[in-house]
Chains A and B, each alone.
Chain A
Amino acid sequence: LSSADAVAAVLWVGVTFYAVFGGADFGSGFWALVAGRGERGRRVRALVDWAIGPVWEANHVWLIFMLVILWTAFPEAFSSVMSTLFIPLCLAALGIVLRGAGFAFHRVAARSSGRRVAEAAFAISSVLTPFFMGTVVGAVASGRVPIGNAQGDPVTSWLNPASLLLGALFVAAGAYLAAVFLVSDARRFGDSELVAYFTTRSLAAAVVAGALAVAGIFVLRDDARFIYDGLTSEGLPLVLISLVCGLGALVLLWRRAARGVRPLAVAAVVAVIWGWGAAQYPYLLPETLTVEDGAGASATLTAVLVVFGIAVVVVLPALALLFTLDQRSLLEEEAE
């Protein structure tokens, strides 16, 4: 294992955390969007607020982490991706601003009209942002990002079957994870109606995400052959693990099990992310730039690994503290 490989693995750890926790936060916004107006819609949005309020900002930092690792360790890939995919990345950044601002403002807005605008900004951008991120990943996976400054097609690089599929899959996977998490959150304060509400939606989202994944196999076979080949060879064990975990979560959801759904759902997503990584290896940009060739100076790679070591010692315990306090409902409104 070279140091470039090790840093690529670190990058993939960041991708995994962001996909699971950031993805679930985006998915919560999806459920806020489709919850409707009436009394139940209000309760769903209140649950989403309650669930992601203390953690979403920390979850968002994984995105910064990924960007920084990418440009520090793999500058060639970073500049190629950021220049060719200028349009979807601008739209994703726009979505991040609208989403954060919408979430921060909607509870403190002075008037109900302002509150509704902020809620809408949060909910709509929660769907658009992961969609555009998915198109970016699809562009990379399908080999549409050549090396260099804006050398790829500015439009068809991300408007193509593989990109659209991955955009949709990102939204569906986030919605699935969010629904599964929200079942537990609803259970934590005994709102059995919302437990049932999100159990139904977890099942629906699982079926949709699964269907998209199956459709994706055919799309990738035609449009991103290298990844398809990888997923059906090196990545196959992980794809199968994902399949088993996903089906297991489905069964537990169907049986209204109180435990085990969250770990299985997370495992299904994590397995597919690492299966993807295995399929794309050794390429950063499939078939044009390898991890080894795209890596920056070796002294910098070492430094990045040291920094990651510090992060493991400093950030992960802090993150564990935050999640523990949060799950024990110790982070709550003070009495007035």
Chain B
Amino acid sequence: VGLDVFPLAADLGAARSQMAFTLGFHIVLACIGVGFPAIILVANYLGLKRDDAVALELARRWSKVAAVTFVVGAITGTVLSFEMGLLWPEFMRRFGDVFGLPFALEGIFFFTEAIFIAIYIYGWKHLSPWAHFWTGVPVALAGLGGAWSVVAANAWMNQPDGFKLASDGTATDVNALDAFFNGAVAYEAPHMILAAYLVTGFLVASVYAVGMLRGRRDRHHRLGLLIPLTFAVIVTPIQFIVGDTAARSIAKDQPVKFAAMECVQETDTHVTEYIGGICTSDGVKGGIGIPGLDSWLVGFSTDTEVTGLDSVPPEDRPPANTLLHLAFDAMVGICTALIALGLWLGIAWWRRRDIPKTPWFLRATAVSGVAAIVALECGWIVTEVGRQPWIVYEVMRTEDAVTQADGVWVSLGAVIVLYTALGIATVLVLRAMTRRWREADDVDVPYGPRPAAPEPPQGPA
């Protein structure tokens, strides 16, 4: 019905936009879901070990925030599960049994996470303190395992393995383990897990930095800033090294993606590294060029050959090269700036056992959360747009995977409206919670703490 009325390409655009929008939304919540439990447990541990009421109160409040963000993450994650089939049925039909196993494993991790986060969040009152602490540990571990599994599925799309292609394009000789341990998972999964810790750490710290800038300098704010920020600044340099390794691996494994993000038009040695600028077929316009550096970054020698976009026909090259290039530069630039923030904190702490005195440090920390999210989104743009036109690298084109159902433009519009409202509501609800905490009141959250049982009826029943 109406299949010929709308050109396929139009629906492909809608499907890709919807996937990008919903994944870009969910990934922030997913990061919080992976990173926050670990940070909460640190506060919980410090609180119990040092008998520190402020640290315990932070853990308790953070767990209530996590209750809200976990629900939003769970429902937006469910939408993604639906979209695998709603938007990309041909992809799932051909390869669902090849790369589905990571998702099945992720299901187990998610189950564990959902069960123990409920026990942890609702368990503050009746469980003994250390028993309660330990119910939080599976949440943090399951977050790690779940992230690893889901990223394994994405890594498989970048480095498909564990099957052979029959002449009709179907997959045969499937080996689910080879698919799981594909060539990209070893760098993609750690990169994503570190990103989750980094984003959550800076995001939580930024909230307290804003509070301190507004004059709330009590111990509650100090500890609320220091615990997540310490967490994040330790992770950031490691992330830089992992990301650098990932980029070098991509230069080898997905050279066209690498060429697009570095704007390398022709395969060559002594390739110039450009920072910023606009990609054109004549090279980069307006960026800062450092001769030979791109080759050196790929192989630690300016003689290293870097594959260019000209290695494949135009229809096999990713679109939006400038976007890719700038997204990659922004990600690296933000990570570098965040390392500098960590050094600043480290030096001040080493000299005076205190955070830097200047308000500029708090201002920098206040924007670090948003900056980390920008870097996160840029990373996903690089890996997903950079893989185009392939949904499975060099195996299946995205245009061959998309649904033939009409109405993707409608669902895209609905999703944009719904998620915008969802995002606004989430922020408003969290702000309302913190406002009430400041007024020393307490709030009920989804998993708990449960309200007291509804009052028994008055009078004779």
Q: What is A's interface to B at a CB cutoff of 8 Å?
A: 43, 46-47, 49-50, 53-55, 57-58, 60-61, 63-65, 67-69, 71-73, 75-76, 78-84, 86-87, 89-90, 92-94, 96-101, 103-105, 107-110, 114, 118, 149-150, 153-154, 188-194, 296-297, 299-300, 303-304, 307, 310-311, 314-315, 318-319, 321-322, 325, 330-336
A2 → B minimal CB distance (Å): 15
Stretch touching chain A among B241-249, B381-389, B452-460: B452-460
- Chain B residue with Cβ nearest A332: B450
Tell me whether A83 and B404 are in contact (CB under 8 A): yes
Tell me whether B446 and A103 are in contact (CB under 8 A): yes
Tell me whether B71 and A57 are in contact (CB under 8 A): yes
Query: Within the assembled complex, what's the spacing in Å between the Cα atoms of A100 and B74?
Result: 8
Tell me whether A101 and B72 are in contact (CB under 8 A): yes
Q: Is B343 an interface residue (CB 8 A)?
A: no
Within 8 A of A (CB), among B44-89: 60, 67-68, 70-72, 74-79, 81-82, 84-86, 89
Q: Is B155 an interface residue (CB 8 A)?
A: no
Tell me whether B108 and A86 are in contact (CB under 8 A): no
Return chain B residues, CB-CB under 8 Å to A87.
Answer: 407
A293 → B minimal CB distance (Å): 13
Q: Is B361 an interface residue (CB 8 A)?
A: no
Q: Is B333 an interface residue (CB 8 A)?
A: no
Within 8 A of A (CB), among B342-396: none
Return chain A residues, CB-CB under 8 Å to B68.
Answer: 104-105, 108
Query: Within the assembled complex, what's the spacing in Å between the Cα atoms of A281 and B4?
Result: 36
Given contacts A93-B82, A189-B454, contact A307 B104 (CB under 8 A): yes
Given pairs A78-B92, A104-B71, 10 additional interface contacts (CB within 8 A): A75-B93, A101-B72, A104-B445, A107-B443, A110-B429, A188-B453, A297-B163, A331-B118, A331-B126, A333-B450
Q: Is B237 an interface residue (CB 8 A)?
A: no
- Chain A residue with Cβ nearest B176: A303
Query: Within the assembled complex, what's the spacing in Å between the Cα atoms of A193 and B457?
Result: 7
Interface size for B (C-beta < 8 A) is 93
Query: Within the assembled complex, what's the spacing in Å between the Cα atoms of A335 and B431?
Result: 23
Return chain B residues, CB-CB under 8 Å to A297.
Answer: 97-98, 163, 171-172, 174, 176
Given contacts A68-B103, A89-B86, A297-B98, contact A149 B115 (CB under 8 A): no
Tell me whether B85 and A333 are in contact (CB under 8 A): no
Given contacts A68-B107, A108-B445, A303-B176, contact A54 B122 (CB under 8 A): yes
Return chain B residues, CB-CB under 8 Å to A81.
Answer: 85
A93 → B minimal CB distance (Å): 4
A8 → B minimal CB distance (Å): 14
Return chain A residues, CB-CB under 8 Å to B172.
Answer: 297
Query: Within the assembled complex, what's the spacing in Å between the Cα atoms of A143 and B183?
Result: 41
Given contacts A68-B100, A96-B78, contact A325 B123 (CB under 8 A): yes
- Chain B residue with Cβ nearest A50: B450
Q: What is B's interface to A at a CB cutoff of 8 Å?
A: 1, 3, 60, 67-68, 70-72, 74-79, 81-82, 84-86, 89-90, 92-98, 100-101, 103-108, 110-112, 114-119, 122-127, 138, 163, 171-172, 174-177, 403-407, 411, 414, 418, 422, 425-426, 428-429, 431-433, 435, 442-457, 461
Return chain B residues, CB-CB under 8 Å to A194.
Answer: 454, 457
- Chain A residue with Cβ nearest B71: A104
Given contacts A86-B405, A325-B119, A330-B127, contact A191 B456 (CB under 8 A): yes
Give me the 7 closest cross-chain CB pairs, A-B, nearest first.
A296-B97, A72-B100, A82-B85, A75-B96, A110-B432, A297-B174, A331-B122
Return chain B residues, CB-CB under 8 Å to A110.
Answer: 428-429, 431-432, 435
Tell me whether A53 and B461 are in contact (CB under 8 A): no
Query: Within the assembled complex, what's the spacing in Å between the Cα atoms of A43 and B458?
Result: 12
Tell me whether B119 and A332 are in contact (CB under 8 A): no
Return chain A residues, CB-CB under 8 Å to B422.
Answer: 97, 101
Return chain B residues, CB-CB under 8 Å to A318.
Answer: 111-112, 115-116, 138
Most buried by A among B82, B105, B443: B82
Return 11 A-B CB contacts under 8 Å, by A number.
A47-B454, A61-B110, A75-B96, A78-B96, A81-B85, A84-B405, A108-B68, A110-B435, A150-B403, A154-B407, A331-B123
Tell me whether A150 and B93 are in contact (CB under 8 A): no
Query: Within the assembled complex, what's the spacing in Å between the Cα atoms of A193 and B456?
Result: 8
Query: Within the assembled complex, what's the spacing in Å between the Cα atoms of A114 and B430?
Result: 13
Tell me whether B405 and A330 are in contact (CB under 8 A): no
A154 → B minimal CB distance (Å): 6
Given contacts A50-B454, A54-B118, A68-B100, contact A331 B95 (CB under 8 A): no
B174 touches which of A79, A296, A333 (Cβ 8 Å):
A296
Tell me whether B104 and A69 are in contact (CB under 8 A): yes
Return chain B residues, CB-CB under 8 Å to A314.
Answer: 108, 112
Query: Within the assembled complex, what's the spacing in Å between the Cα atoms of A98 and B435?
Result: 25
Most buried by B among A76, A82, A314: A82
- Chain A residue with Cβ nearest B69: A104
Query: Within the assembled complex, what's the spacing in Å between the Cα atoms of A73 and B98?
Result: 9
Tell me whether B177 and A303 are in contact (CB under 8 A): yes
Tell me whether A108 and B433 are in contact (CB under 8 A): yes
A318 → B minimal CB distance (Å): 5
A322 touches which of B115, B125, B435 (Cβ 8 Å):
B115
Query: Within the assembled complex, what's the spacing in Å between the Cα atoms of A99 and B422?
Result: 12
Return chain A residues, CB-CB under 8 Å to B85.
Answer: 67, 71, 78-79, 81-83, 89
Query: Within the assembled complex, what's the spacing in Å between the Cα atoms of A92 and B81?
Result: 12
Query: Within the assembled complex, what's the spacing in Å between the Cα atoms of A143 and B85?
Result: 19
A61 touches which of B104, B114, B414 (Cβ 8 Å):
B114
Tell me whether B444 and A71 are in contact (CB under 8 A): no
Query: Within the assembled complex, what's the spacing in Å between the Cα atoms of A83 and B75?
Result: 21
Tell me whether B114 and A154 are in contact (CB under 8 A): no
Query: Within the assembled complex, what's the spacing in Å between the Cα atoms of A21 and B78?
Result: 17
Tell me whether B104 and A72 are in contact (CB under 8 A): yes
A72 touches which of B101, B108, B455 (Cβ 8 Å):
B101
Tell me whether A50 and B118 are in contact (CB under 8 A): no
Tell me whether B84 and A193 are in contact (CB under 8 A): no
B72 touches which of A69, A104, A310 (Cβ 8 Å):
A104
Tell me whether B448 and A332 are in contact (CB under 8 A): yes
Tell me whether B96 and A296 are in contact (CB under 8 A): yes
Tell me whether B454 and A334 are in contact (CB under 8 A): no
Return chain B residues, CB-CB under 8 Å to A69.
Answer: 104
Return chain A residues, CB-CB under 8 Å to B124.
Answer: 334
Return chain A residues, CB-CB under 8 Å to B79.
Answer: 93, 96-97
Query: Within the assembled complex, what's the spacing in Å between the Cα atoms of A335 and B125?
Result: 7
Return chain B residues, CB-CB under 8 Å to A303.
Answer: 101, 104, 176-177
Query: Within the assembled complex, what's the spacing in Å between the Cα atoms of A72 and B179?
Result: 13
Return chain B residues, CB-CB under 8 Å to A78.
Answer: 85, 89, 92-93, 96
Most buried by A among B111, B119, B403, B454: B454
Query: Within the assembled complex, what's the spacing in Å between the Cα atoms of A252 and B371?
Result: 61
Return chain A residues, CB-CB under 8 Å to B92.
Answer: 71, 75, 78-79, 82
Query: Within the assembled complex, what's the spacing in Å between the Cα atoms of A69 and B104?
Result: 7
Tell me whether B89 and A83 are in contact (CB under 8 A): yes
Tell me whether B449 and A333 are in contact (CB under 8 A): yes
Query: Within the assembled complex, what's the spacing in Å between the Cα atoms of A54 and B455?
Result: 20
Tell me whether A90 and B86 are in contact (CB under 8 A): yes
A107 touches which of B103, B444, B454, B461 (Cβ 8 Å):
B444
B270 → A minimal CB distance (Å): 46
Most buried by A among B93, B116, B444: B93
